[in-house]
Structure 1
């Protein structure tokens, strides 16, 4: 077999022996053109491509001479010629017994095969400087970097931090001043628990950027750096929205992240909404579902996609809602460098100081504004928030994630009503999540949801349990699981709830050592039941004894209640999606 390597320096190998191509230098360029293009090449076009500076007659003569050199320089073919040459065309024989590193590299990229790192020894023919090579060289380099990024993110999602770090470093070796790559490396090291290493990588990059280009890192990079310094969560990490946990002790379960799957429809809908936002038509997506159904994971996957496409993503959570506008403040606080760098009227930024007093540390030119009447104060704040968030989205489209909207206070919900009505003017997608079972009929979000649903670019996605086929596909991706019909079994046990499925798989990977606890599942169930009224909890306990399905009258009789008491408790269970009426 003839082996030809074009990535890096040109190499020729035949039957295991290294060969030297005894031909003029331009013969290598000719070979490099023919090999990736096995179709028939017109001689005139080929000659003009390789010698664009010469007249037609000279180019044709050069081509004849170099084809002759190449034919004699290649080893003798056993049964099929290497080249098929006619009066008008030239072609590398597609049936020849030949291996080309470029072809193997492109296949590895398409299959997400780690072999790309071995095949890509360097840029295409690094010591050849023909003009036509520039585009192809850049194309293959971009393929290589994209493949490395996919491999790095896959390894990160599976907690293979050493591999992920290696891929990210190779990306930086290829393009040392690319800020997307340093952000990925910092995120990986932080997720691995190496916070000091992530900070050191940033400082090293900042010095190199200052020395080479006399500039400072982008606000996105500074935002990530400050999040790491303050040990905050990172939207860049699709697998988890929390900082890396300390290593598990002997009595703790090792962290397990469920492979992402079964959400193609929802991802397609959100991707379409994001594409609309990229074109300047902002929108709103409300994502609902029960606890553990995968709302946070879906928003994290969206965030990772947006960041990979060059967009921006910020996130705030309303959990607890311990102060007014909590989710909005937390999202903007995580992006202070972006906020401080926007091109906006200082008065607009100054209006945010009551919510974000730390903004003055970055913008000492900002001064507190005079107090107004409460209604006017609120209007000024709402317009300022809207203007500043929109300004963040102008350089790069923005994904604004608000989680746990069911816990948001009246101030947050009121601003969202104001903000959502103006989204269509900006390259911004607002993605808000809430638990359907927490939104009772009297909950303020119930009315807000109806109002927002009337907006032209608003959509509501309700996450349901994963189907059996999706569970089986996810289980098949987890190494180390054994058992016949395991996917179907885990589907039956977890009823398609991703959190339950994750706990069940983690338990099996631990050899069943934690099967008596299922800590995560128990904590979730205890949390939901703790918020029920006492009579409702009692009804749920009686119903649980009755089995997966129960008759309401039977449960009422066992509890010894009248119809009014039983119906009130049952209504609460239905409102919180803890039971469902099979007759509805």
Structure 2
């Protein structure tokens, strides 16, 4: 490019290797106005208003003519469509430059648009390059020595482009794994546009990806407070959804902590399906809470079954009805005392335009300042007041929140809660009976350790009283049924929701066979759905991981293998031996035969079996009074994971033991399914 006009920063024109500058500030602003007007040009009055944004001087007309004459002389070297680049046509001044003249403002804004398109198509490298180049230009000042409506409008427009470029560059850096750069860019975006919610959502996503969920929550809190104090509005539904997504470790489009659908599903958002009864239970509890009767709902289920997604959807529904959402989560080996309640109430304090401590008694303010990060906490556990003082302070603050509007406290991953947190939850339930409060706690029920069983026991004991009074309910999440699995797969693969007929379960697998008839297509699709349902047991996490795997439903997704490995690490030696025998045997196995092949006595085998039932790997199959008890894998893909881990030597040993246990005349009580 031979000629470039630089309006941003020190104004200059670069032409044929020579740099030209305008010495007069009035000439610079007039030149910028003419360049950015393009072929439409500007009237004499419009040009005068930019040069003299206040009151026009008495001799402005002659001064303008002189200035235009100087600009014609300055622009003479520029390549133009005619010998006179600055002409007056139809009462308007028009600067007719050739198309190959590069204007930095136009180039930067085009680069932002191109960067967004590249990012949307997955070209992260190109998006990062274009967005970074645009941001470097747009950071330069625009006519810093001048003011006026036209200049202010352009500055606002260029700031919007700059913040967009920073967001794209941040998300591209995040996609390439450069978290530090992504954070710096997102922080700059929020600093330049504190009211722009997309910039704060970008920062929230970066902080969460860095493993700092507390900082992600504080980014949301800063935005909420700014919007309340400066604009008097609440965050948008999209931002509230991003806030709710921080409840779990997954992306907003993913259910139950499961990654979103991948290539096999076309990266479509994961639909929420098959939980009508569970949502109705939560909606009923919320309605009773809104009428002034505190409610407690305990959501339980195995890993990946959809607890987090259920909380997210229920929370969104509660917020849509005007509820105040307070969200917290328990982390394994958390360092913050009473972590989920501290997180939930700190979010309320940080985002409140008023000082919530004004509404609590003076004796509660000190403990709250020691606990809540937005008030200067948390201090070391040894410096905290006695438990009754802390409980009373937190209860007061929660009651203040619930007095403003109906309040939902959503606590996820409660299986990691420490005993003190469980006791705090029970205290809150005992002391808030007349509050407009709904406490929803989600916990896994497939952990074998005694510590997690104690947590569950504490929550169960809390539930007893409230179930009896009609103020509590447990929602036990099982796998999706066949119809919900079909809906989920159909929506992900085709992008549409099937109507309730027998001829709409078309899937990719069903449409790839040339010349297939309608009946054949339906049969193929139905078989695919049944296979996916059988292998996943209706577990959304496992189902989605299989759908996203390039090799299809019959491969073992790495995420599922990691989940099974984590469960195996916690079950003990005897349970592992029994599990390996069951996996080699097939989808179902008779207890007596499996115990014998594993070399375990009856009591040891029973303990091992109970562990496998507890962690949700095996389930009781159909029982017959005259036959040995049979147990089945709840998820065929889990059986495949374990089976693939068994060495050939161990497989031969298991097969040999099975023959010995069965004896020469009797077939083993083993069922291949």
Shorter-chain TM band: 0.5 to 0.7
For residue 216 of structure 1, the aligned residue among 230, 234, 237 is 230
Q: State how far apart, in whole Å, the 2-side matches of 1:430 and 1:318 are.
A: 15
Match of 1:416 in 2: 425
Once the two structures are TM-superposed, the CA of residue 267 in structure 1 deviates from its matched residue by: 0.4
Match of 2:111 in 1: none
Cα distance 1:488–1:568, how it changes in 2: closer, same or farther (>3 A)?
A: closer
For residue 454 of structure 1, the aligned residue among 465, 475, 479 is 465
Once the two structures are TM-superposed, the CA of residue 290 in structure 1 deviates from its matched residue by: 0.8
Indicate yes or no: 2:406 matched with 1:397: yes
Q: State how far apart, in whole Å, the 2-side matches of 1:288 and 1:367 are.
A: 32
For residue 532 of structure 1, the aligned residue among 549, 563, 571 is 571
Indicate yes or no: 2:546 matched with 1:504: yes
Once the two structures are TM-superposed, the CA of residue 572 in structure 1 deviates from its matched residue by: 1.5
Match of 1:437 in 2: 446
Contact 1:261 1:474 in 2 (8 A): yes
For residue 470 of structure 1, the aligned residue among 484, 487, 497 is 484
Secondary structure, in 3 states, of the residue corresponding to 1:496? coil
Aligned 1:562-573 pairs, distance under 5 A: 562-573=601-612
Aligned 1:273-352 pairs, distance under 5 A: 273-323=285-335, 324-338=337-351, 341-342=355-356, 343-352=359-368
Once the two structures are TM-superposed, the CA of residue 499 in structure 1 deviates from its matched residue by: 0.8
Match of 1:104 in 2: none
Once the two structures are TM-superposed, the CA of residue 398 in structure 1 deviates from its matched residue by: 1.7
Contact 2:298 2:441 in 1 (8 A): yes
Once the two structures are TM-superposed, the CA of residue 341 in structure 1 deviates from its matched residue by: 3.2
The answer to which of 566-575 and 265-274 deviates more is 566-575
Once the two structures are TM-superposed, the CA of residue 416 in structure 1 deviates from its matched residue by: 1.1
Contact 2:365 2:393 in 1 (8 A): yes
Match of 2:74 in 1: none
Cα distance 1:226–1:488, how it changes in 2: closer, same or farther (>3 A)?
A: closer
Match of 1:65 in 2: none
* 1:354-386 deviations in Å (ceiling 9; x for gaps): 32254149xxxx999x989x7xx1111111111
Indicate yes or no: 2:371 matched with 1:355: yes
Secondary structure, in 3 states, of the residue corresponding to 1:558? helix
Secondary structure, in 3 states, of the residue corresponding to 1:454? helix
Structure 1: gaps of 5 or more residues: 1-158, 162-185
Q: State how far apart, in whole Å, the 2-side matches of 1:359 and 1:435 are.
A: 32
Contact 1:319 1:407 in 2 (8 A): yes
* 1:527-579 deviations in Å (ceiling 9; x for gaps): 22221112212211111112221112111111112222212211212222322
- The alignment's C-alpha RMSD in Å is 4.6
* 1:437-494 deviations in Å (ceiling 9; x for gaps): 2266752421431332321201101011111011112222224441222333321222
Match of 2:195 in 1: 203
Q: State how far apart, in whole Å, the 2-side matches of 1:347 and 1:227 are.
A: 36
Q: State how far apart, in whole Å, the 2-side matches of 1:421 and 1:326 are.
A: 20
Match of 1:105 in 2: none
Q: State how far apart, in whole Å, the 2-side matches of 1:286 and 1:269 are.
A: 11
Contact 2:265 2:493 in 1 (8 A): no
Contact 1:465 1:498 in 2 (8 A): yes
Cα distance 1:425–1:224, how it changes in 2: closer, same or farther (>3 A)?
A: farther
Cα distance 1:565–1:408, how it changes in 2: closer, same or farther (>3 A)?
A: same
Once the two structures are TM-superposed, the CA of residue 394 in structure 1 deviates from its matched residue by: 2.2
Secondary structure, in 3 states, of the residue corresponding to 1:293? coil
Contact 2:323 2:406 in 1 (8 A): yes
* 1:225-281 deviations in Å (ceiling 9; x for gaps): 99999x9669998535999x99x9x9x998664211000000011011111122222
Q: State how far apart, in whole Å, the 2-side matches of 1:354 and 1:436 are.
A: 33
Contact 1:219 1:337 in 2 (8 A): no
Secondary structure, in 3 states, of the residue corresponding to 1:459? strand
Match of 1:269 in 2: 281
Indicate yes or no: 2:574 matched with 1:574: no
Cα distance 1:216–1:271, how it changes in 2: closer, same or farther (>3 A)?
A: same
Secondary structure, in 3 states, of the residue corresponding to 1:544? helix
TM-score using structure 1 length = 0.56
For residue 537 of structure 2, the aligned residue among 467, 488, 495 is 495
Match of 2:595 in 1: 556
Match of 1:156 in 2: none
Q: State how far apart, in whole Å, the 2-side matches of 1:381 and 1:304 are.
A: 30
Secondary structure, in 3 states, of the residue corresponding to 1:351? helix
Contact 2:417 2:455 in 1 (8 A): no
Structure 2: gaps of 5 or more residues: 1-119, 123-163, 173-185, 199-222, 495-506, 511-524, 624-628, 630-673
Contact 2:401 2:407 in 1 (8 A): yes
TM-score using structure 2 length = 0.49
Once the two structures are TM-superposed, the CA of residue 393 in structure 1 deviates from its matched residue by: 2.3
Contact 2:575 2:611 in 1 (8 A): yes
Q: State how far apart, in whole Å, the 2-side matches of 1:538 and 1:580 are.
A: 17
Q: State how far apart, in whole Å, the 2-side matches of 1:242 and 1:350 are.
A: 38
